[in-house]
Amino acid sequence: MNNDPLANAMSKIVNYERIGRDSVQLYPVGLLAKRVLEILNKHGYVGVFEERDTTRGSVLKVPLLGTINNAGVIKPRFAVQTDAFEKYEKRFLPAQGVGVIIISTSKGLMTLDEAKKENVGGRLIAYCY
User: 28-54, pLDDT tens digit by residue?
Assistant: 888 999 999 999 999 999 999 999 998
What is the rounded distance in angstroms from the CA atom of residue 127 to the CA atom of residue 103?
A: 9
CB atoms closer than 10 angstroms to residue 42: 11
| 94 & 122 share domain | yes
- 12: CATH: 3.30.1370.30
68: in domain: no
pLDDT of the residue at 11: 96
Express each pLDDT in 66-110 by its tens digit: 999 999 999 999 999 999 999 999 999 999 889 999 999 999 999
Number of domains comprising the chain: 2
If we measure between CA atoms, which residue out of 122, 100, 123 comes closest to residue 38? 100
Same domain for 116 and 84, yes or no, is: yes
pLDDT at 2: 65
Give the mean pLDDT of 16-34: 95
How many residues are listed for the chain in this entry? Answer: 129
State which of 14, 29, 63 marks the end of a domain.
63
Statement to judge: residues 32 and 80 lie in one domain? no
Residues 6+ apart with CB under 8 A from 116: 82, 85
Confidence band of 129 (pLDDT split at 50, 70, 90): very high
pLDDT (0 to 100) of residue 53? 92
Does 121 lie in the same domain as 80?
A: yes
**Would you say residue 1 has pLDDT above 60?**
no
Instruction: Quote the domain boundaries for residue 18.
Output: 5-63
Domain assignment present for residue 69? The answer is no
